[in-house]
Structures are given as C-alpha cells and as structure tokens.
Amino acid sequence: MSKFYKNLWLLLSLALLISTSACKTYHLTDTEVTNLDTPDSYPEDEQIAQLIEPYRKEMEVEMNVVIGTLEEDLVKAKPNSNLGNWFCDILYDEANKMFFNEVDFTLQNYGGLRVPSISKGQLTVGKIYELMPFDNMLVAMDVEGKVLKQLLDGIARYGGWPISNNLTFTIVANRAEEILIKGEPFDISKTYRMAIPDYVANGGDSAEYLSEIPQENSGVFIRDIIVAHLESLQEEKQPITVDNSIRIKE
C-alpha cells in the first residue's frame, strides 16, 4: 500500500498546485472538526475531481481490505478501556521489534485515538485509519525517573491515557501513585525507556518538557504499525486478542 499512497499524495499535491499559486506541507497532529453547510456557490472543481477519481476508487478498495476479526466491541474510555489496552499492547510488541534497545512500556495520548469504539466483526484497514488519522510516528525515549513521574502525574490529572500492560498506577489526588513498571516498584533514581507518539515526544498534550530529550524515531506512522501487526496475525492465522486488565486504578 505504501506505493499507492505515495502516488496518491503526489496526485493530490499536483491538484493543489493547479488550484492555488502556493502550497505548504503540514504535519497533522490533532484537529477539531466543525460541521458546516457547504454553500452552492462553491462547486466542485471538475478538473481536480477527474484527476483524482481513479485514485479515489483505488483508495476505497484498499481501505475496505479486511485485516482481522474482532471477537468483542472495543470501546474508548478513561481511565481504562479495552480499546486503549489493545492499541498500546500492539505498540509495545512492535516497538521491541523496531528499536535496538527494549522499551519498558508504551503509551498513547487519549485524544490521539479518534473513534469512540470499534464494533466486533471484520476489521478493515480503513477503520484503523479512522482510529489513527494523524501522521504520528512511534519514537523511543530514555527518560529520568523524575521526568517520567511528571508525565504520569499529567496523565493522572487528565483522568487516564491508554498504556501498555507492563505499566500500572493508581490515581490519588490527581497524582500517579503506586507505580509499577514490569512488576517492579517505580524508582525515581532510575532511567526508563518508553515508546510514545512523536506528537507527545515533541511536547504535545502539555508534555513540552519532553521536547528537549533525544528520541529514536522509528520512521513509521503508528497507524501503519497497527495495520502491519494485524496483517501479520492474519497471515499466521492467529486471532486478535484483547487484554481487559485494569492498569490505572482510581
């Protein structure tokens, strides 16, 4: 699919050049959507529509490819959810294949997951793109214990983020307490290695204190990591499993 989306991107860029005198490239990290009525005075550009139409049809085919079957509904919620657990556990498994040094845990900012639920049944590529539409990449970072505590306290104040199954804590007065990492009590004097979206690593979601820390970038979009993982399970005839364990207590 990478070749197809590269061609589609090139085509869309050409279309923008046709309709505008200048073009800028943006890295999308988050969005707020407002539905507005489109006035009839802004008709579709027929030249661009004709140019894109063959690729639109091909994209629809690609997005409808089934990459697995869910045995239960996945629902997004705070402080815990099976959708968040499932997502971060996949990132943890894949991070330890992609990065040279093993990571201790993974996490995903709550707002980065853009659908409230995924229904059980056939799971398509398009559904993963709806879940994670942003061009966020997975990065690994080594963080001192005091920095990690600051991050986890921020997650506690927010009410919880999706985290992988080797990180647990309890929210006490908007702070992260009773922290366990890989079953061991948190040690503020240690350095921990985590895999997170580059949006957060670069300071997003009030984590600006992370932006100066060196990061190892996988160079792969998170949504593509999830798709590749599911495709691999399908090829190996392995079921999609979901861990419903409680990771953040209140």
63 found inside a domain:
no
Q: Is the pLDDT of residue 10 over 90?
A: no
Q: Model's pTM, two decimal places?
A: 0.80
The burial of 77, by beta-carbon neighbours within 10 Å (0-12 exposed, 13-18 middle, 19 or more buried), is given as middle
Task: For residues 116-142, give the mean pLDDT.
Answer: 96
| Domain CATH number, residue 97 | 3.90.780.10
Split at pLDDT 50, 70, 90, the class of 46 is confident
214 found inside a domain:
yes
Q: Is 163 helix (H, G, I), strand (E, B) or coil?
A: strand
Q: Is the pLDDT of residue 43 over 90?
A: no
38 found inside a domain:
no
169 found inside a domain:
yes
50 found inside a domain:
no
Q: Is the pLDDT of residue 147 over 70?
A: yes
Q: Tens digits of per-residue pLDDT, 161-173?
A: 999 999 999 999 9
How many domains does the chain contain in total? 1
107 found inside a domain:
yes
- Both tokens of 237, joined, read 């005839």
Q: Which amino acid belongs to residue 208?
A: E
- Both tokens of 27, joined, read 């890295």
109 found inside a domain:
yes
Q: Is the pLDDT of residue 87 over 70?
A: yes
Q: What is the pLDDT of residue 49?
A: 64
Residue ranges making up the domain that contains 216? 68-243
C-alpha of 110 from chain center: 9
170 found inside a domain:
yes
User: For residue 190, is it left (φ>0), alpha (ψ between -120 and 50) or beta?
Assistant: beta
Q: Tens digits of per-residue pLDDT, 90-125?
A: 999 999 999 999 999 999 999 999 999 999 999 999
Q: Is the pLDDT of residue 209 over 80?
A: yes
Q: Is the pLDDT of residue 24 over 70?
A: no
Q: Is the pLDDT of residue 37 over 70?
A: no
